[in-house]
Amino acid sequence: MDNPIRFEHPLNERSRVLLRLEDVFTRFLHYLPSESRQDTQVAISVLMEAVNFFNRTDLKSVLIKELKRNITTFERLGAHPGLDSDRVANTLQRLEDASTSLHSQLRQIALDVRENEFFKSIMQRSAIPGGTSASDLPHYHLWLEQPAEERARRLNAWFEELRPVHNSVEVLLFIYRASGVATEEVAENGFFHYTLNATRPAQMVSLELHRELLVFPEVSGDWHRFNIRFRRSDKNSLIPVTCEGKLPFRLSIANI
């Protein structure tokens, strides 16, 4: 399949949070190095999204628990003669480093960022449409007019608090994606059903579709089974309709 479009869907709440965090971190790191004042504003907005994740106080323990589960798995894999021992050892080291880094954060994640008066003032005003304009926040306007290097330095300093989480998300999703084996499947009249192997914990599903078809999946299910309904997007109205006939796609299930 040439130049497919990829969709991913979580099969549990933990994977859902990981995918959401990855999306936020990816957008922040995209805008971080830009010299544009407007891109810095976008980076600040995305950083607010990231910080809001940590209103959930159990997130750190959830990540540590999942890292430990995978560390145990890779310790067992290290004794398997048929696997690439260097690759297993490298992944195990990344897991252990991520776990150690999270454990070393004694305070609540992103607490210093949230308590920063400058950042807090932007967060409070951002709830108002247009509330971060120069007339509303002259201090913010002044900071945005500083050299790009100064703005990037401040953003990087704030992101350092979140880096252990970023590293954990990165290695866990890398493992999930690498654990899947792609199969060629066909949906009939826009519908596909799959029953999962209960002995192997499934984390998420990935689907690849021909880009030119303008088709997207709606996935529902859990670690027992899932259903996929494929919808076609009208190029002009963008109103989705259910696909008809046979629809080929590539399916990968993260089992680990």
Domain with 111 in it: what CATH number? 1.10.3900.10
In what helix (H) or strand (E) does residue 159 lie, and over which residues does it extend? helix 148-160
- Residue 189 to residue 243: CA distance in whole angstroms: 6
What are the pLDDT digits (tens) for 119-178?
999 999 998 999 999 999 999 999 999 999 999 999 999 999 999 999 999 999 999 999
Same domain, 119 and 216: no
Same domain, 152 and 214: no
Same domain, 208 and 109: no
User: Cα-flanking dihedrals φ and ψ of residue 189, to 5°?
Assistant: 50, 40
| Tokens, residue 121 | 């003032």
The whole-number pLDDT of residue 150 equals 95
Same domain, 195 and 164: no
| Tokens, residue 66 | 């999942």
Structural domain for 233, as ranges: 181-255
Same domain, 229 and 136: no
Same domain, 89 and 215: no
Answer with the one of 140, 174, 208 that is the final residue of a domain. Answer: 174
Same domain, 161 and 189: no
Residues 6+ apart with CB under 8 A from 166: 21, 25, 159
Mean pLDDT of 172-195: 95
Same domain, 149 and 200: no
The whole-number pLDDT of residue 137 equals 95
In a domain, 18, yes or no: yes
In a domain, 224, yes or no: yes
Report whether pLDDT(101) > 90: yes
In a domain, 157, yes or no: yes
Answer with the one of 174, 208, 227 that is the final residue of a domain. Answer: 174
In a domain, 7, yes or no: no
In what helix (H) or strand (E) does residue 211 lie, and over which residues does it extend? none
- Residue 48 to residue 160: CA distance in whole angstroms: 14
Same domain, 117 and 72: yes
Same domain, 115 and 218: no
Answer with the one of 125, 140, 174 that is the final residue of a domain. Answer: 174
The whole-number pLDDT of residue 79 equals 73
Same domain, 81 and 198: no
Query: Which of 26, 200, 51 is CA-nearest to residue 115?
Result: 51
Domains in the chain, number: 2
Q: What's the half-sphere exposure (Cβ side, CA atoms, 13 Å) at 209? A: 21
CA distances from 179 to 52, 193, 200, 206 (A): 30, 21, 11, 11
| Percent of the chain's residues with pLDDT above 70 | 100
- End-to-end alpha carbon distance in the chain: 26
At 197, which amino acid appears? N
The whole-number pLDDT of residue 86 equals 85
- Residue 213 to residue 250: CA distance in whole angstroms: 14
Report whether pLDDT(68) > 80: yes
Mean pLDDT of 222-246: 90
In a domain, 2, yes or no: no
